[in-house]
A = this chain, B = another copy of it.
Amino acid sequence: MISGAAVHAYQELAEALRRGVYEAGRRLPAERELAARLGVSRATLRQALTQLAEEGFLTRSAQRGWFVASPVFSEPPSVLQSFTEMARARGLTPSAQILRRTTRAATFEEAERLGCAPASPVLELQRLRGMNGVPVCLDHNVILAARAEALAEVDMTDRSLYEALRQFCDVVIERSSYSIQAAPATPEVAELLNLAPDAPVLVGQGVSYDAAGVRVMSGVTTYRGDAYRFEADLYRPLRVNVRVTPRSPQ
């Protein structure tokens, strides 16, 4: 049974495992590194790891590391995948045509979404993305210019934005918070995506965070309704075994 700060470490790790942050069968980062990342001491971290191992989520191997046990579920968890990765995973050729690329001051709403000061310089990138030459979606992103200076120079045609961010700007997108809704296509979108006016499209609005949890990018992506499907695994909130102490908790 664990308690105190160890519970926090346990919850964070369990959540990460459920989300598929660490691939099944692979080794976790070293204890010392994990402890630093979770802001907890090694001893406390080991409590959490031991608990997870007892519950069957991890297996331990002395002097080698902690390994993610095979997932209980056969299906892959919902995972953040770039358009390019998704296309390649399906054996299709992704393309990206730049419609607009400017550096300008963020509007008030953009600054709000990005959590930066209003009028901070941002890179605006609008792209028409296709698979095997067929236009599939319209991508409209606003990126903090401070984090993505190099991107103003690079030729982004047919290039993955995630990969470019990592490669040229040393920015790794680790999490995106999305909201998705169905809407009729606006006339411009309909024309770009080669759709009938008011045809249904899937509109995804999202904010992307780097490894430190700092907002880097905000964007709207408009997919053809008939060409794209969004997949996700949803879980009930996790209940943790916490020792009940007679004293007042926390």
Binding site for B on A (CB under 8 A): 4-5, 15-16, 19-23, 25-29, 59-65, 67, 69-70, 72-73, 75, 77-81, 172-184, 198-202, 209, 213, 223, 225-226, 228-238, 240-241, 245, 248-250
Return chain B residues, CB-CB under 8 Å to A235.
16, 19-21, 79-80, 174-175
B177, A229: Cβ atoms closer than 8 Å: no
Chain B residues, CB < 8 A from A240: 22, 26-29
- A65–B237 alpha-carbon span in the complex (Å): 19
Contacts of A198 in B (CB 8 A): 198, 200
- Chain B residues with CB under 8 A of A248: 25-27, 59, 61, 67
A209 to chain B, nearest CB (A): 7
Contact B180 A201 (CB under 8 A): no
Copies in the complex: 2
Closest to A68 in B: B248
Q: Which residues of B contact A75 (CB under 8 A)?
A: 177
Does A179 contact B238, Cβ atoms closer than 8 Å?
Answer: no
B200 touching A232, Cβ below 8 Å = no
Contact (A182, B5) CB under 8 Å given A26-B245, A77-B15: no
Check B182 against A250 for contact (C-beta < 8 Å): no
